[in-house]
Amino acid sequence: MVQEKGSISIHTENIFPIIKKFLYSDHEIFLRELVSNAVDATQKVKRLSSLGQYNKELGDLRVIVSVDENAKTITISDRGIGMTAEEIKKYINQIAFSGATEFMEKFKEAKDANEIIGRFGMGFYSAFMVADKVEIQTLSYQEGAEPARWICDGSTEFEITDGNRTERGTDIILYINSENEEFLEKHRIQEILDKYAKFLPVPIQFGTRTTSMPDGEDEQGETKYKQVEIDNIINNPNPIWTKQPSELNDEDYLNFYHELYPLAEDPLFWIHLNVDYPFNLTGVLYFPKLKNEFEFQRNKIKLFSRQVFITDEVKDIVPEFLMLLHGVIDSPDIPLNVSRSFLQADSNVKKINSYITRKVADKLGELYRKDRKAYEEKWSDIGLFVKYGAISEEKFYEKAKDFLLLTNTKKEFYTLDEYNEKVKALQTDKEGRVVYLYTNDAEKQDAFIQSALKRSYDVLVMDSPLDNHFIQHLETKLEKVSIKRVDADVLDRLIQKDDSLSHVLTEDESNKVKEIFEKAINNSNMSVTVEGLSADELPVTITMEEWMRRMKEMARMGGGG
Ligand code: ADP
Ligand code: MG
């Protein structure tokens, strides 16, 4: 019996095409939205039950997704609160009227009201991106409620009639249109569920799957296995980021890491994020082991909102220099289905960004203070993050300068302060600046390194692609320090305090050799030094001024600084 026919309110003629084309560029999102709604409805009935406002059996609360290839339908069923015909009119017919918002109002004193996903009141209509016709069969939890059915063919006309559901909850039935038949393939649905629903807080079942189970022993005493059909539950409803750090051990963090990235090596360490003021955010960030620094594996952080996967494009939320980290961030305060430009302008997003920077800096500082040796051992992996962070984020540099390490050719580690202390006595030039020497190619520059070491100078190893920028950054940050490559014309210009070094050539001989070389090179940009300190050392060094070499290098790199 038709109870009511009517038109969907609020200028639907205009909204439908927008939903279909622009709001969700990705059609697969419909499943995320409908499964999220089913989870919401389930969380609500749990909530009512725990508040004593619903006293019947909750029953098996899993959400079931099923595909009927013949009928060309996808059905999403839940045992949540359901809807009365009145509620359908209110929550479904009035697009952009979010029932969740009202629910939140009503239960805002409830502790975990924020488990209720969705605030936009648009999600349901994403069904029309893939379906010509959508049907709702629902029975409200309320005492004496009658089952109701709603059907709509994507025009602004809908129909509400008596429904057929006998148990509390809702079925959403999508009649998939011909352009979207890919969604009738099981593997496609499995793939979408894996992507968006993997960590939803209520069990989600999609058909069954076969697995092998131990089945007694054979004659040799070996365990036998049999193939059994089990429910295919696609999600882990209690991922570690929803727990307290105190409940977790290292193994939990490592297991979760491998659940996220099955092929990755163990991470170096991790940071458990957990804030509730001034915004809500939980998550675990892992520092991966980088096989080499060219292998920048970006976009590995997954963003969730109340355990629903949103995106792995976290560009504006995570500072640029931490894009190499792995892990998850979950925040109900990050708007879901909104545009990039909105994200950039959102003030919560900015706060989240600086919070993450601070947390990472604190964690690194803690690791450094707790066990310096272990920190040094990891330096070849974490140094890249720290240097990159120091260059790109002033706030990070301010914290990182205490645990930023420099390494020398003897593989010793020094903080910035320690290093200055170490070299300032010997390595000072006539202008009173402390000169740090470095090599970016220890093999090619070996002769120069050896000369420097003989003079008791120290030579830093700065050979990563990032070090060019890092050196320039340090020069602007460190007072009265200049940083020169070991083959720059600098070794003999430092104030040499050690007179015990004996020269092989007399001064006269040296001058003659110098003249010969200068004539041969005939280039005023190069300078020649003759002063072999011992017989096994090169007596002549030809050097170019540091600034000149840097200019040339930059020109070669295409003008990049
Ligand atoms: P939102 O989830 O942001 O509120 P939606 O368009 O996804 O917006 O859903 C609109 C409303 O329809 C929900 O708030 C809820 O009241 C109702 N609703 C949708 N799906 C279900 C469901 N499976 N069970 C009960 N109510 C539902
Ligand atoms: Mg929704």
Residue 9 corresponds to which tokens in the numbers above?
């309110």
Query: What is the structure's pLDDT at 37?
Result: 93
For residue 100, report the distance from its CA to the centre of ligand 1, in Å: 7
Mutate which of 30, 36, 40 for ligand 1? The one with the most ligand atoms within 8 Å of its CB, which is 40
For residue 115, report the distance from its CA to the centre of ligand 2, in Å: 12
CB of 530 shorter than 6 A to ligand 1: no
CB of 37 shorter than 6 A to ligand 1: yes
Residue 500 predicted with pLDDT over 50 = no
Name the band, by pLDDT with cuts 50, 70 and 90, for residue 190: very high
Which range, 72-81, 223-232, 499-508, 510-519, has the best average confidence (pLDDT)? 72-81
Q: Say what percent of the chain tops pLDDT 70.
A: 78
The full 3-state SS of 347-365, as one line of letters, equals HHHHHHHHHHHHHHHHHHH
**Residue owning the nearest CA to atom 23 of ligand 1:** 38
Name the band, by pLDDT with cuts 50, 70 and 90, for residue 350: confident
Per residue in 210-250, pLDDT (tens digit) is 999 998 888 888 899 999 999 999 999 999 999 999 999 99
H or E segment to which residue 511 belongs = helix 507-521
Per residue in 280-306, pLDDT (tens digit) is 899 999 998 876 544 556 668 998 988
CB of 332 shorter than 6 A to ligand 1: no
Name the band, by pLDDT with cuts 50, 70 and 90, for residue 118: very low
Q: Which ipTM was obtained for this model?
A: 0.99
Beta strands 157-162 and 2-7: pairing type? antiparallel
Residue 111 corresponds to which tokens in the numbers above?
């502790």
Mutate which of 91, 120, 149 for ligand 1? The one with the most ligand atoms within 8 Å of its CB, which is 91
Ligand number nearest CA of 101 is 1
Cα distance between residue 484 and residue 458, in whole Å:
12
CB 497 within 8 A of CB 426: yes
CB of 124 shorter than 6 A to ligand 1: yes
Q: How far is CA 521 from CA 331, 485, 518, in A?
A: 65, 21, 5
Degrees to nearest 5, angle at CA 330 with 265 and 194? 65
428 CB neighbour count, 10 Å cutoff: 16
CB of 118 shorter than 6 A to ligand 1: yes
Cα distance between residue 153 and residue 142, in whole Å:
28
**The ligand 1 atom nearest the CA atom of 125:** 6
CB of 134 shorter than 6 A to ligand 1: no
List CB-based neighbours of ion ligand 2 within 5 Å. 37, 118, 123
Where helices occur in 202-306 by DSSP H, the ranges are: 250-260
Residue 364 corresponds to which tokens in the numbers above?
């690194």
User: What pTM value is reported for the model?
Assistant: 0.76
**The ligand 1 atom nearest the CA atom of 169:** 24
Mutate which of 124, 134, 200, 336 for ligand 1? The one with the most ligand atoms within 8 Å of its CB, which is 124
Per residue in 4-46, pLDDT (tens digit) is 776 555 444 445 555 555 455 678 888 998 999 999 999 999 9
For residue 4, report the distance from its CA to the centre of ligand 2, in Å: 24
CB of 83 shorter than 6 A to ligand 1: yes
**Residue owning the nearest CA to atom 14 of ligand 1:** 99
Span between the terminal Cα atoms of the chain, in Å: 75
Ligand number nearest CA of 98 is 1
Residue 523 predicted with pLDDT over 60 = yes
